[in-house]
């Protein structure tokens, strides 16, 4: 038994029944383990969702580590689209649960890794230098504004239970914020 097996079983049950309807004992039964074994690997049900969020950031970090042949705007937008893919995979109900858990206690789910921030700022700077990004503002402030735009759209997607085209809204918002040259 390992943590990944428990997490995958829990996510499957969360999707089938809803987070609140799944008890730790249900996850244990799905995995064929005891509660002490569950708690040896996983501190709580919420921790499973918080860790999913960390894995999503791994995906973003890998995306911004390289280069995009289509240029900096494509790479920046792509980083947010990777996050949207991960959010859509987990669904609005479980993503809402992550948000609620962070409102009760800041688990750092909305703190972006310094490596991602530095890389996004470098990509913004490269976009400004190449003229692809017309907004000459401070790259750090542009990154923060971009991240807050994304988080606001993520909240709306959860609030509207997934019935919200946040990809289109994100493209339009980032195009305006960055003053993307056509």
How many whole angstroms separate alpha carbon 91 and alpha carbon 57?
Answer: 16
CA distance 31 to 24: 11
H/E run at residue 70:
none
Record the tokens describing residue 98, joined without a space. Answer: 């992550």
CA dihedral 50, 53, 54, 55 (to 10 degrees): 130
pLDDT tens per residue, the chain (182 residues)? 899 999 999 999 999 999 999 999 999 999 999 999 999 999 999 889 888 878 888 888 898 998 888 999 999 999 999 999 999 999 999 999 888 888 888 776 667 789 999 999 999 999 999 999 999 999 999 999 999 999 999 999 999 999 999 999 999 999 999 999 76
- For 38, 72, 81, 92, the CA distances from 166, given in Å and listed in that order, are 36, 21, 10, 12
Give pTM, 2 decimals: 0.86
Q: What is the pLDDT of residue 30?
A: 96
Looking at residue 157, its pLDDT comes to: 96
Q: Are 109 and 50 contacting, i.e. CB atoms less than 8 angstroms apart?
A: yes
pLDDT at 109: 65
Buried b (16+ CB within 10 A) or exposed e, 14-28: beeeebeebeeebbb
**Predicted pLDDT of residue 138:** 98
Tokens representing 71 are 């240029």
pLDDT value of position 56: 85
Q: How far is CA 109 from CA 51, 54, 96, 136, in A?
A: 9, 7, 12, 29
């Amino acid at each position: 038994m390992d943590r990944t097996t428990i997490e995958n079983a829990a996510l499957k049950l969360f999707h089938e029944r809803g987070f609140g309807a799944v008890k730790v004992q249900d996850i244990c039964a799905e995995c064929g383990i005891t509660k002490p074994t569950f708690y040896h690997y996983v501190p709580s049900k919420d921790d499973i969702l918080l860790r999913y969020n960390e894995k999503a950031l791994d995906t973003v970090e890998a995306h911004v580590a390289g280069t995009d042949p289509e240029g900096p705007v494509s790479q920046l937008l792509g980083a947010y689209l990777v996050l949207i893919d991960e959010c859509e995979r987990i669904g609005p109900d479980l993503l809402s649960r992550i948000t609620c858990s962070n409102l009760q206690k800041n688990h750092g789910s909305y703190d972006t890794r310094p490596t991602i921030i530095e890389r996004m700022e470098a990509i913004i700077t490269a976009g400004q230098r190449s003229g692809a990004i017309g907004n000459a503002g401070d790259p750090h402030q542009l990154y923060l504004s971009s991240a807050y735009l994304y988080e606001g759209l993520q909240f709306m997607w959860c609030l509207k239970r997934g019935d919200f085209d946040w990809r289109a809204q994100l493209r339009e918002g980032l195009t305006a914020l960055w003053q993307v040259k056509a």
